[in-house]
Structure 1
Amino acid sequence: MKNYHKTNAVDARSANLLSNLHNNLSTAYLFRKKREEAVTELKTAFTVRREYASLGLIENNDTLQQTLSLANMLVQNKEYDSALEVIDFCESTITEIMGTNNVNAP
């Protein structure tokens, strides 16, 4: 699967799906309390988006939205500390991969 995008033409849809796959794996690892694996998968999801930024993937919020959906589910289950951990995890991963100055103002 990782070699697919190296041997085939990549379009925005396939790159987005690959990023979402890694995001979903990250969510599964978080549920299983495998934080290191979750971090690795979420980093990969953001790396795919950055690698194919020319296709408009940076502007796509699927990864962030899915991760924050997990936080929302935890809040609904009154697992507030876990929800805060997911939000902190998401923020620190985004900051590490994307930086804090990644939007160019006109």
Structure 2
Amino acid sequence: MPILAVLTLAVMVVALIDAITRREDQVKHLPKFAWVFFIVLLPLVGSILWFAIGREWERRGEPMSFGDPRRWQRDAEPAPVPRAFDARTTEQQIADLEREVYLADLEEQVRRRRAEGDAPA
């Protein structure tokens, strides 16, 4: 009897992997999430029905795989170069920003005073 349970579990796992890795256009009769739910809810019946009527047996392109497909390419592009690390502490960054705000405020005051001086009296 335990052999039947192990066999049912193995068929369910294979059906789940197959259902999850299929594209939507390769799934027939129900949406993919419904098939996954059905396979989990009724492992043996759901798995058999998935293989019998739920999946598309014709190949219509590249099968979907787990993970990033670029890892399987031999001539992959080089990894992007990360941005330069800012070694300043948070306090230094805050002080720099406060200094910039202060300078912007002073420049605004200078512009305002020049505009007041140019205005006719």
Global fold match (TM > 0.5) = no
Normalised by the size of structure 2, how large is the TM-score?
0.26
Larger radius of gyration: 2
The answer to which structure has the higher helix fraction is 1
Normalised by the size of structure 1, how large is the TM-score?
0.29
Higher relative contact order (CA 8 A, sep 6+): 1
